[in-house]
Chains A and B, each alone.
Chain A
Amino acid sequence: MSLSDDTATRAGERPVRRRRRLRSRRPVAVAAAVVAVAVVAAVLVASARGGDDRPARQAGAGPIAGGSLTYAVAGTQVSLDPAVAATAVTGLIDRNVFDSLVAQTGPATFGPWLATGWKVSNGGRTYTFTLRQGVTFHDGTPFTAQAVKATLDHVVDPATKSAYAASLIAPYKEARVVNDHVVEVTLARPFTPFLQALSVPYLGIQSPAALAKPVADYRPVGTGPFSFVSWEKDKRVTLRKNARYASPPAGASHQGAPYLDDLVFEFVSEDATRYGALTSGQAQGIAGVPPVNAAKLKSPADFSFSAQETPGLNYNLYLNQTRGPLRDVRVRRALSASINVDQLVKNIYFGLFPVARNPLSRTTAAYDASAESAFASYDPAEARRLLDEAGWTTGENGYRVKDGKTLTLVWPYWAEGNKEQRDVLAQGIQAQAKLVGIKIERPTVDTGAFVGTYLIGGAYDLVDVSFARPTPDVLRFAFASGNTYAKAGGNVALVKSPQIDHWVEEAAETSDPATAERDYSSVQQEVLRQAYVVPLYTPVQLTAFSAKVRGIAFDAQTYPVFYGAWLGG
């Protein structure tokens, strides 16, 4: 008889009865008990000690150099190469390692960074950058025009497997080294969002020497205020102060080296755990404060809490207008009118996330508040009327029926991508749509199926997504007919409107801000009128820091900037 016989009788039956005849005179159990007691005692003693072992600091007026800051974030990352990985965490971490050519200083304004100046010529197709001198990468390689060319070529090289970074500079044709400190970039067509693209961390300038190494040995090497030390998968990334830092962007808090000695990004996926890490002092700052806990952090003097609305596309529900019942604009508007977005968002997020009424967030350039009038907002009576009008009658279990078919919408649930209690919000939407007779199904799908069957295969009626990027050009990303997901775009409503295509393309190519603004405004009106999209909320970066942490600023993408951060008393 082997012991695994007990497998079938795990907790229920007491396995004692099996070996009644056996007896031992050896003190195995005694020895085991002694060892066990010792171990437990050690654990208890160790846990009685502990506590805060960071060095005490003097209180003072100015910034104090030194110390280590641990920032806990949700999620993890697959690669440290910003050109490869497009996740927000990678951007957040790599922002400290890499400088960009230009810095975004306002909704549509840009200042110098690694480029001290630039000139646009050839009808918006050629950008000539003059580069900052005397800057070196962490590995000692001098920063020159060659590095800019190497970085951009690396991004578009198919072997890099970049999708997002490459898509940001899709019109990129080539870069030419004019001399060590001048580089000329040629685009295939005029492309106004080019400067904005260059300002994001995904296009941070990398050391050509580091890029020349095999992929397996990749280490992020930039010119940024912190240099890369180590990456423990799924646990943390550690960065160290770049004492020679000499290239802060326009509008930086100070010049020279950063104050912190070490900057640690700790990966803690569970919301409640991350929050607990902050309150217990294990981390000095956290991203993604759970809204349910944010209220507690707002008041006490021990923490500083900040809410940064993300620019770009809101967290929106997109209605696939090419499939099933949603081909009818009345059904789309009925769904839109059945959802009490206001009430759900206010309560689930405790009033911390602004309720959205426009696909664009209000901090984005060209945001048009008046577009709201075209939105089919909450009105269940109107929703029922529209469904009646579209020929959907109420069936026996309360759901609408037409030609023997129940009004069923498929909204795939990609559990791995879930964050910010979006699954909870979706359950609320499901429940409210049910009240007017719309049945929403949410199959749980894994990444492969979500991309293959749904996003590319098109077997969905609804898809939810947010997309942060501080430019109205995101409207082209989300609604131009050529930008379907299969073509690396974000048009998941599968909108095919020549009118919208014209507006977004004209806006991307024109050099006249007024024309662009008018075009973008028309797009916002049209997509709401057609109910291709139901805006839900504006994602807010809820960050909290221990009150000891000073000098935190936020960049245009709402990432915290650690360059000027320091630890006070």
Chain B
Amino acid sequence: MPSLARRLLRRLALTLVAVWGAATLAFAGMRLVPGDPARVIAGGVQANATPEVLDAIRDQYGLREPVLVQYGVFAGRLLRGDLGGSYQLNQPVSGVILDQLGPTVALAAGAAALGFTLAVAVALVTAGRPHGRAVSRALEFGSISTPNFWIGVLLLAVFSFRLHWFPVIGDGGLRSLVLPSVALALPIAGVLAQVTREGLERALDQPFAVTARARGATENRIRLRHALRHAALPVLTLSGWALGELLAGAVVVETVFARQGLGHVVVAAVRGRDFPVVTGVVVLSALTFSLINIVLDLLYRLVDPRMRPEPA
């Protein structure tokens, strides 16, 4: 299908532009900041570096070159996949990211699983039942409107500090994944549940549902075997949105639960203006986000052949 190939190429090209744009923005930011990164690299306030030490650092990091030269070096390294070295952590940025990727992926996966499950379960139970729907609508609206960090703080207060059911340190295995996943999943589950239920309700009004009922199928069977399939696609189309929410939410939730992870790292890097790390995370997330959206886009096409490329 040539139009699909062309579209794919176009999307990939756009992704590259996006990554390059993100990197350039981050680089520009790095240079716009008034302070002197050499101080940060030298170990900050306690280190109280001498001028000789600072000069050595400026040479080592090429901070005294003209800005354009620095940009060239930066872009060249980026092309080779080299994100440079962190100012604060004395470690290559790629190493920092690799170290921290695991916990964030685990958190996002846990929250995604929880969020989707919860949404589907709630939708199945409440679709087409006025009372259940009213209650769950209110709950969904509440969870959508509640900041995930408040949910997190309350969960911590109740389940970790009062009841001691869950650990308070973030990276102690599966057990410590539960509360952060819940905090991250709830606001997303709220949206997903609404969408799924509407899909289900539309499906239940369809002639095939009537036919199935006429054939004597139980209500549960109709919901699970027939209607849920119809509700699947709108939910799938939301995956890209949910992914963005998960990534964004991880930043905050990791801080609430003091978990290791990319979000924690990026917040620390923003506070300390550790630009190589900020740049690295931004570039990486732009790349992942765009690529996953391309994959999802292709996936809808596979799932529903009626979808045709639209004029942009």
Contacts and interface: CB of A to CB of B under 8 A. Distances in A.
Interface in A370-417: 414-417
Interface in B245-304: 245, 257-258, 260, 265, 271-273, 293, 296-297, 300, 303-304
Nearest to A485: B48
B89 to A, nearest CB: 6
Interface string A433-462: 000000000000011111111010000000
Contacts of B44: 78, 416-417, 447, 451
B175 A47 contact: yes
Given A11-B191, A15-B238, A234-B260, A163 B43 contact: yes
A200 to B, nearest CB: 14
How many A residues are at the interface, by size bracket? Answer: 35 or more
A450 B234 CA distance: 51
A277 B196 CA distance: 40
A12 to B, nearest CB: 8
B228 interface: yes
Contact of A39 (B42, B113, B170): B113
A35 B114 CA distance: 10
A2 interface: yes
A27 B232 CA distance: 7
A30 B233 contact: no
B152 interface: no
B110 A43 contact: yes
A282 interface: yes
B230 interface: yes
B273 A26 contact: no
Interface in A20-34: 20, 22-30, 32-33
Contacts of B231: 29
Contact of A16 (B164, B194, B236): B194
Interface string B149-189: 00000000000110010111111111101100100000100
Determine chain A's interface SS by DSSP, over half rule: helix
Given A7-B244, A451-B44, A163 B160 contact: no
Interface stretch (A84-92, A118-126, A175-183, A297-305): A84-92
Given A36-B114, A36-B116, A448 B39 contact: yes
Contacts of A449: 34-35
A11 B39 contact: no
B42 A43 contact: no
Given A28-B236, A277-B169, A86 B47 contact: yes
Interface stretch (B50-58, B74-82, B125-133, B214-222): B50-58
A214 B177 CA distance: 39
Contacts of A56: none
B124 to A, nearest CB: 9
Contacts of A1: 310
Given A43-B174, A84-B43, A28 B303 contact: yes
Nearest to A13: B191
A423 interface: no
Given A33-B117, A36-B116, A448 B37 contact: yes
B225 to A, nearest CB: 9
B84 to A, nearest CB: 15
A452 B234 contact: no
B49 A161 contact: yes
A62 interface: no
B6 interface: no
Contacts of A79: 43, 90
B46 interface: yes
B49 A163 contact: yes
B114 A447 contact: no
A272 B109 CA distance: 26
A233 B91 contact: yes
Contact of B306 (A22, A233, A266, A448): A22
B180 to A, nearest CB: 11
Contacts of B195: 14-16
A29 B109 contact: no
Contacts of A60: none
Contact of A233 (B96, B145, B164): B96
Contacts of B135: none
A27 B241 contact: no
B128 to A, nearest CB: 16
Nearest to B196: A29
A35 B113 contact: yes
B223 to A, nearest CB: 11
Contacts of A453: 34-35
Contact of B232 (A28, A36, A269): A28
B205 to A, nearest CB: 13
Given A29-B229, A233-B89, A280-B167, A10 B245 contact: yes
Given A11-B145, A29-B235, A446-B273, A85 B297 contact: no
A477 B216 CA distance: 90
Nearest to A455: B45
Contacts of B171: 235
A8 B144 CA distance: 15
B36 A452 contact: yes
A86 B229 CA distance: 61
Interface string B79-119: 00000000011110000100100000000011011101100
B120 interface: yes
B198 to A, nearest CB: 5
A283 B172 CA distance: 11
A161 B116 contact: no
Contacts of B112: 36
Contacts of A16: 194-195, 198-199, 234, 238
A163 B168 contact: no
For the complex of A and B, list the 3 residue pairs with the smallest distance between their C-beta atoms, beginning with the closest. Answer: A448-B35, A276-B168, A29-B232
24 contacts: A3-B297, A10-B245, A11-B191, A22-B233, A22-B300, A22-B306, A24-B304, A27-B228, A28-B229, A30-B228, A33-B120, A44-B178, A47-B174, A78-B43, A78-B90, A86-B43, A86-B47, A161-B47, A161-B56, A163-B49, A273-B258, A277-B169, A282-B168, A452-B35
Given A29-B236, A43-B177, A234-B260, 7 more contacts: A10-B241, A27-B228, A28-B233, A161-B49, A266-B169, A416-B271, A447-B39
